[in-house]
Amino acid sequence: MSDRHALLLRLVYPLVALILVIAGWALAVDVFEIPRYVMPSPMDVANHIADDWPALVKGFGQTFMEFLLGFLAGAIAGFVFAVLMDASRPVRGILYPILITSQAIPIVAISAALTIWLGFGLAPKLVIVALVVFFPVVVNVLDGLASVDKDIINLVRSMGASRFSIFRHVKLPATYTPLFSALKLSATFSVTGAVIAEWTASTSGGIGAYLLQANSRLNTAGTFAAIVFLALLGLVSFLLVIAAEYWLTPWRSGSKARRWSSSYWKDETGG
């Protein structure tokens, strides 16, 4: 199968799945004669989106910015913490139990406390999204660092590689696969975190706030319109992670490995 054919199938399958979902939804509403205030038809939702397009786009942009900033902050902090915990056994022994315990606290309870401490601005929303990303990244990166073969580390150390060179060229590549696995999962979970943050720490704006207002008014078409935009946000975030993975790990999608110059080890070891 050619690469172009494989790419075409990757695009066709999700499109077919989307068409089937929409068709089944419309058919269920008509066949079972579900009242529109209980379950709007796809056309009702589409009409609502067209009528309230500016507000939905504005809310999407605000929620996406909250998600993006919080996601990046959580991913970077999680990666740094994982590296520090791998480098120092005492640090890992102290921080790891705290991280495990923190996951037992419901995100709703944390969001309520953060609203009291940080107010109703952007800060609590970013923290909530970052917390959703933080723990999966820490755990997966730690696993990646621990999976490195000790014999390989001893080999490159015997060749004169510095500690930084060992991390950069041996340990760091081992974190890519578990890191992006964590980011893919967190990309969709973070959308939920952003919505919860807007429910508890927002006075205006955002798709989460829009969803809450539509639900309070029993506007099912508006509720489903918000859900559509949240699904779109989750899809966009997932695709952004895949794009970053493709860019940072080209050898996983190509047939050729990277070529290293003959002076590679000389540059790294000073030989």
**Model pLDDT for residues 198-221, shown as the tens digit of each residue:** 888 766 678 999 999 999 898 999
Q: Which domain holds residue 63?
A: 42-252
Q: Pick from 123, 124, 171: which is nearest to 143 by CA?
A: 171
Q: State both tokens at 25.
A: 């939804």
The structural domain count of the chain equals: 2
Per-residue confidence of the chain (271 residues) as pLDDT tens digits?
Answer: 566 777 677 778 888 998 999 999 999 999 999 998 899 999 999 999 999 999 999 999 999 999 999 999 999 999 999 999 998 889 888 888 888 888 888 888 888 888 888 888 888 999 999 999 999 999 999 999 988 888 888 888 888 888 888 888 899 988 999 999 999 989 988 998 889 888 887 666 789 999 999 998 989 999 999 999 999 999 999 989 998 988 888 776 655 544 444 444 444 444 4
Task: Please indicate, yes or no, if residue 164 is contained in any of the structural domains.
Answer: yes
Q: Is residue 166 part of a domain?
A: yes
- For residue 106, what pLDDT is reported? 84
- The pLDDT value given to residue 36: 87
pLDDT value of position 102: 82
Q: What is the structure's pLDDT at 265? A: 45
In a domain, 21, yes or no: yes
26 and 119 in a single domain? The answer is: no
Given this model, what pLDDT does residue 48 score? 96
7 and 98, same domain (yes or no): no
pLDDT averaged over every residue in the chain: 86
156: CATH: 1.10.3720.10
Helix (H) or strand (E) holding 211: helix 207-216
Q: Do 95 and 8 belong to one domain?
A: no
pLDDT of residue 137: 95
Q: Residue 206: is it exposed, middle or buried by C-beta count within 10 angstroms (0-12/13-18/19+)?
A: buried
267 lies in some domain: no
C-beta separation of 227 from 40 below 8 A: no
Residue 269 within any structural domain of the chain: no
